[in-house]
């Protein structure tokens, strides 16, 4: 191998982010490369949630809506996510799932471009994004979805954009391949055509530094690289220049201008707060905020440097062993998020064999093996160990074992 395990140890000793690993509870003897699906558990989370349960809920009960800041959690949490995506204070609201926020974002964007009836959507996008766009287009009638795809990694947006396009929804980082769009360039191109740009940041926030500030709207989740916990609140970003004009179609009381006046009719709250709908899942916000305490101290330039170093190392190591895998991620680090994917016709049993040996990746149809590299808790030695285990599974064909062939419910 071009680089030894000892070299990796040296890299880890010099890593400015090395102390963050201690912030997380990781199972022993496991290389966890699924932080792009469910982030690891921060050590501080259990105590924080325990306090919220026993003291805020158990002892202070409903008073905690005021005294523990429960009522404002969607906004205060959103303001803590904002710096991670290049948004300003008051532009991000945390809540609901990503899917629900996609619906809110799409249905908020469309009326801003009356007369334009086309939504551009990416065929390679995560299915829920596409499903929700279909649902929104159906519910609001008379919208056409124009699908685009990538040709050699580049979007064919040029042909699709016209003066009939109201909005474009894209993921900055592709969930299968980790390919990353240039947010600034694509946003400028879309806006030059008079359309609104909505970004999905699910595989970006906490993986790469993001500057969403030129975009119109964005959404993302917090249970992947942001380690907010299973089902943690997602978020919506709305550029402040649109705040006066956007509407939340799920116009619930939490987004009302004066919720405790209990007026018979809806009046939207100022700013991004109007995108709140119903009561927030307080315990999930508490877990997310425990993780955001950690994120507050992370220098995103260090995060990116370490991510590039680890993903490039993994690609180099796998290149060397030539195990019959095809790289599905961009080789150019500038065009790659914090994930490396390969194609293999027996990808599913390969992943099962890896998991059995403590290397946790996952599989996505039709033939993609994914490895996420969360820079806060992974080390270069983990990258080395994962690559050597992968080499062994492939060279000895360990994946052919009968037990790895059967599909589990969640792949
Ligand atoms: C993970 C992910 C989602 C998840 O949506 P949920 O509603 O949180 O389940 C949506 N879109 C993309 C691009 C994702 O990567």
Q: Identify the pLDDT of residue 296.
A: 97
3-state secondary structure of 282: helix
Domain assignment of residue 33, yes or no: no
Q: Does residue 406 carry a pLDDT above 90?
A: no
Q: Examine the fold and report which residue of 269, 295, 321 is the final residue of a domain before the chain moves on.
A: 295
What count of other Cβ atoms lies within 10 Å of the Cβ of residue 211? 12
Query: Closest Cα to residue 108, out of 222, 237, 213, 270?
Result: 237
Do both 285 and 335 map to the same domain? no
Q: 346: which DSSP letter? A: T
Do both 204 and 128 map to the same domain? yes
Do both 330 and 308 map to the same domain? yes
Q: Is 129 annotated as a binding residue?
A: yes
Using most ligand atoms within 8 A of CB, pick from 121, 202, 219, 236 the residue to mutate for ligand 1.
202
Q: What is the CATH number of the domain that holds 315?
A: 3.90.1150.10
Helices 127-140 & 98-109, crossing angle to 10 degrees? 40
Q: Does residue 321 carry a pLDDT above 80?
A: yes
Do both 263 and 285 map to the same domain? yes
280 CA to centre of ligand 1 in angstroms: 19
Q: Identify the pLDDT of residue 154.
A: 74
Do both 344 and 280 map to the same domain? no
Q: Are 15 and 306 in contact (CB under 8 A)?
A: yes
Q: CA–CA distance from 71 to each of 56, 76, 271, 293 (Å)?
A: 13, 10, 16, 19
Straight-line distance from the first to the last Cα atom of the chain, in angstroms, rounded to the nearest whole number:
31
Please give the number of the atom of ligand 1 that sits closest to the Cα of 126.
13
What mean pLDDT comes out for the span 133-146? 93
What mean pLDDT comes out for the span 111-119? 96
Tell me if the pTM is above 0.85: yes
Do both 140 and 190 map to the same domain? yes
């Amino acid at each position: 191998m071009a680089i030894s395990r000892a070299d990796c140890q040296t890299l880890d000793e010099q890593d400015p982010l090395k102390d963050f690993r201690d912030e997380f509870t990781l199972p022993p003897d496991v290389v966890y490369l699924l932080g792009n699906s469910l982030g690891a558990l921060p050590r501080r989370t259990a105590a924080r949630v325990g306090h919220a349960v026993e003291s805020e809920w158990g002892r202070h009960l409903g008073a905690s809506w005021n005294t523990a800041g429960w009522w404002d959690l969607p906004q205060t949490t959103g303001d803590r996510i904002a710096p991670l995506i290049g948004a300003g204070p008051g532009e991000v609201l945390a809540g609901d799932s990503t899917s629900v926020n996609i619906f809110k974002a799409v249905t908020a964007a469309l009326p801003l471009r009356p007369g334009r009836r086309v939504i551009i959507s990416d065929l390679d996008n995560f299915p829920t994004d596409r499903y929700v766009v279909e649902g929104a287009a159906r519910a609001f009638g008379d919208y056409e979805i124009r699908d685009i795809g990538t040709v050699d990694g580049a979007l064919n947006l040029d042909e699709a954009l016209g003066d009939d396009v109201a909005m474009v929804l894209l993921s900055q980082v592709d969930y299968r391949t980790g390919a990353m769009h240039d947010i600034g360039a694509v946003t400028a191109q879309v806006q030059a055509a008079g359309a609104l740009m909505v970004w999905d940041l699910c595989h970006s926030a906490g993986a790469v530094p993001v500057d969403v500030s030129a975009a119109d709207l964005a959404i993302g989740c917090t249970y992947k690289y942001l380690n907010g916990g299973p089902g943690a609140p997602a978020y919506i970003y709305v550029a402040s220049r649109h705040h006066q004009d956007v509407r939340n179609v799920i116009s619930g009381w939490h987004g009302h201008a004066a919720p405790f006046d209990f007026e018979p009719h809806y009046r939207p709250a100022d700013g991004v707060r109007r995108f709140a709908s119903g009561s927030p899942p307080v315990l999930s916000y508490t877990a997310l905020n425990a993780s955001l305490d950690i994120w507050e101290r992370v220098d995103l330039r260090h995060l990116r440097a370490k991510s590039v170093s680890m993903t490039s190392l993994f690609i180099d190591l796998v290149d060397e062993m030539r195990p019959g895998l095809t790289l599905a991620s961009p080789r150019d680090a500038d065009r790659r998020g914090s994930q490396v994917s390969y194609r293999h016709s027996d990808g599913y049993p390969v992943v099962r064999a890896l998991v059995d040996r403590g290397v946790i990746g996952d599989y996505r149809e039709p033939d993609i093996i994914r490895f996420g590299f969360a820079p806060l808790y992974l080390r270069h030695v983990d990258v080395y160990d994962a690559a050597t285990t992968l080499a062994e599974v492939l060279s000895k064909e360990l994946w052919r074992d009968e037990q790895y062939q059967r599909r589990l419910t969640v792949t």
